[in-house]
A and B are shown apart, each in its own frame.
Chain A
């Protein structure tokens, strides 16, 4: 048997009292794709950071091709043949592909020589692995999928034999993800070893050969992928049986609650982010808005939530909603019965330094029940918070704990409890389960469906197609500030939605991934 490409023995790492990695051992066979799956905070990223030399392990050993190797910094990791593709790309936006690739690997004081040498190597690499990237393209003109390929090329240029990818599909459309997986397969055929970190069960099932599951800093299992199932993996991740499918009865839609006509938004730079949108949401239904991040969904939510001004006609239960004037702020929206769970709970939904009880009053601090004369009735807010925390199973149920000390899932529950318990007519909800662990996802989805069943209108925005397909009663797809079309979840699939998300409406015809990527590059797509 050949030596494993990478072997970790007894890796442990603690941050203060938190044990991020506990006695972790894995062996990754050369020329395979090895998945590492786990919830947020399970210790995946810490482990990879140790492997890439960002952190020093408290204990344990690393073997590369059977040799014990010390990795004190990322230079050492690169020297050992490890390449890393981060979730957030580390590219210089206004440099060309070629310039980015040699960055930090220049040969001498003068660039010209390195550039021409790099160009030759790069063209060889591209041919070898079937990566189509123009070396002279400027990064900011490239779509996300292309940028990711540049990151992969960067690693290959540095002669990486082991490629680590951290949540690589987070920003990709399904078509782009497929394309990425084809590249990974090709790399594997050429003998590279790939470690794929993800929280998406489907990706693990589709592409990996073996998979390791992490939970609370420990490696709970390593199995061959064909021998396992998504259900089993989920259970290993969470530690109990999890319902992966959203369980809901068919919707019984009532009157139109939210009606949007010709909504237009320009950002600070005068770029049109919404180009005349028509949408409606009825009582008792969930309208899911799908799209690659950065195509106008955020702006839609901000306008409706009252943090951005816009032009157009919006009515709520038949009454017009002020989009520019005095009543276009968040307070006015709340008074109208619009609750808003924002996309980014750490920047908008919560104040991380505030205690849970202060966050529960957030946005509703004018509520008469929270006042005592001219002062705020902090005691009443605390009691109310404790009750809400219990109903939404927030752990730990301590109203005095600062928001930053809760896990992502529990932070989201604090926000949800605050917004849902206001019994709104319309709930705006963005990325409800971003950075939330599987166990909490199930609970959050149940709460959203329960609100729908009470006859409330819900506008859901998510970049997770699974979530859109599972939760929505109707799906609208956004691309470049426009609605590309509406579909019923029962009559569509990921492929069709994926093409719509790339702005391609004739979804019956086959389309190449290049076409999709090119199209997306012209939209405002994320990572700008």
Chain B
């Protein structure tokens, strides 16, 4: 029997968690002598008050959707992929190579090739830990996090020694040619006559991310592969019984997960920076873990959580800009959200389940007493 109705499970629990995190954050802000109400106001106007703010919020959200989906897909197979950071880094390399090595007549063709390139590089980076776990028993949590460091070092080497234009002091590639510049949200919405900020970095990748959410949903709940992934994630012994090869599923899942993380590069590298720089991912790989956690590994949940974290990111930046609240505090707030929505899930869930059970029993006993009268 379900202890709680579905809507409470999916909507109420995260909302309450979020509320608790907000209260605690407010106390922290009070503690450093700032006004929490003002802070919230500032965050909301900064992140959602203008199309410029929205442009940044959605730009960050696009990153988080990709990395969130990456974690979510792996999670369905019972794999904890915390290497999104490294996989997205490698994805950036894939995008840069695609954009710089070939002459592209139109951005749309370049985008398709960039998606393939970033996915391929990201998948490759995730496949190695996947293979090591499947065949050698090295734990994926350890290997993926190690691979984040290797990716950073590798990128350093490649940028400094190989892709840096001659004479440049900056460890970055040259700018991508004009032809591969992606249309920003300003350009896309202009087609529909909607006026959107020109300066904001949100771009057509957002649509790709949303399509990715949909495709992941179809994959997980409507295909045989998704069925096998979920089976394996719920019970390895049962999967083995059903003839689902654990090694095969582990590797395939990691390929998919890495590909999704890698695809983030079409947003930050191709869409925003338009060149590959050092540390382009900026922690989005790790935020993806929180996004997947909060979104309960459901693509729609990931979509919503990504926007929430986009808001926190952009709002936080505004806060740092206009108040004396340090940027680090935003990390504290984000950490609190992660703590409450992920780790302390049961703290909210257990009492809520009791409330629902009590509510369910109460009407019955009322009926009984009425009948007795």
Contact = CB atoms under 8 A, between A and B. Distances in A.
Contacts of B240: 307, 330, 348
Interface string B220-238: 0011100110110011011
Contacts of A349: 238, 241
Contact of A376 (B223, B360, B361): B223
A95 to B, nearest CB: 30
Interface string A405-422: 100000000000000000
Contact of B231 (A306, A347, A351, A371): A351
A363 interface: yes
B234 A330 contact: no
Interface string A324-354: 0000011111100000101010011111111
B235 A347 contact: yes
A329 B245 contact: yes
Question: Which of B3, B227, B234, B360 has the most A CB atoms < 10 Å from its CB?
Answer: B227
Contacts of B222: 375-376, 378
Interface string B200-228: 00000000000000000010001110011
Interface in B39-85: none
B242 A330 contact: yes
Contact of A347 (B1, B218, B237, B245): B237
A363 B241 contact: yes
A273 B333 CA distance: 56
Given A347-B238, A358-B227, A375-B218, A334 B243 contact: yes
Contacts of B194: none
B223 A365 contact: no
B228 A365 contact: yes
Nearest to A370: B224
A525 interface: no
A366 B224 contact: yes
B15 interface: no
Contacts of B231: 351, 354, 362
Interface in B233-285: 234-235, 237-238, 240-245
A374 interface: yes
B321 interface: no
A374 B222 CA distance: 9
A351 B223 CA distance: 17
Contacts of B234: 351-354
A419 to B, nearest CB: 11
Interface in A182-237: none
Contact of B357 (A16, A344, A366, A405): A16
Question: Which of B218, B228, B230, B243 has the most A CB atoms < 10 Å from its CB?
Answer: B243
A305 interface: yes
B253 to A, nearest CB: 16
A310 to B, nearest CB: 15
Contact of A330 (B218, B223, B230, B241): B241
Contact of A306 (B223, B224, B243): B243
Contacts of A305: 241
Contact of A365 (B227, B235, B238, B245): B227
Contact of B1 (A333, A358, A374, A405): A405
B1 A363 contact: no
A17 B360 contact: yes
A334 B244 CA distance: 12
A16 B3 contact: yes
A405 B240 CA distance: 23
Contacts of B230: 354
A17 B361 contact: yes
Given A354-B234, A362-B231, A366-B224, A17 B243 contact: no
A365 B232 CA distance: 13
A333 B243 contact: yes
Contacts of B357: 16-17
A223 B329 CA distance: 71
A361 interface: yes
A38 to B, nearest CB: 22
Nearest to B222: A375
B363 to A, nearest CB: 12
Interface in A90-106: none
A351 B243 contact: no
Nearest to A331: B243
B241 A332 contact: no
Given A351-B234, A354-B234, A374-B223, A330 B1 contact: no
Contacts of B241: 305, 307, 330, 340, 342, 348-349, 363
B64 to A, nearest CB: 27
Contact of A375 (B223, B238, B242): B223
B227 A351 contact: no
A363 B224 CA distance: 11
Contacts of A353: 234
A347 B236 CA distance: 9
B130 to A, nearest CB: 20
Contact of A351 (B218, B238, B245, B360): B238
B177 to A, nearest CB: 37
Contact of B243 (A329, A354, A376): A329
A405 B242 CA distance: 21
Question: Which of B218, B234, B238, B240 has the most A CB atoms < 10 Å from its CB?
Answer: B238
Contacts of B237: 344, 347-348
A363 B227 contact: no
Nearest to B3: A16
Nearest to A374: B223
Contacts of A342: 241
A331 B360 CA distance: 44
A350 B239 CA distance: 9
B93 to A, nearest CB: 31
Contact of B238 (A17, A306, A362): A362
B243 A350 contact: no
A346 to B, nearest CB: 9
Contacts of A348: 235, 237-238, 240-241
A347 B224 CA distance: 21
Interface string B103-141: 000000000000000000000000000000000000000
A351 B232 CA distance: 9
Given A347-B237, A376-B224, A376-B227, A362 B3 contact: no
B361 A363 contact: no
B1 A351 contact: no
B224 A365 contact: yes
A348 B244 CA distance: 12
B218 to A, nearest CB: 7
A349 B237 CA distance: 9
A340 B243 CA distance: 11
A83 B167 CA distance: 84
Given A16-B357, A17-B357, A350 B238 contact: yes
A56 B224 CA distance: 46
Contacts of A366: 224
Nearest to A371: B224
B324 to A, nearest CB: 49
Contacts of B1: 17, 405
A330 B243 contact: yes
A431 to B, nearest CB: 14
A389 B234 CA distance: 23
A363 B235 CA distance: 13
Interface in A467-509: none
A169 B221 CA distance: 44
A117 B234 CA distance: 50
A353 B234 CA distance: 7
7 contacts: A307-B241, A329-B245, A330-B240, A348-B235, A349-B238, A353-B234, A362-B231
Given A348-B241, A365-B228, 8 more contacts: A17-B1, A17-B360, A353-B234, A362-B238, A363-B243, A376-B222, A376-B227, A378-B222
Q: Which 9 A-B pairs have the closest CB atoms?
A: A330-B243, A331-B243, A363-B242, A348-B241, A329-B243, A351-B234, A375-B222, A347-B237, A307-B240
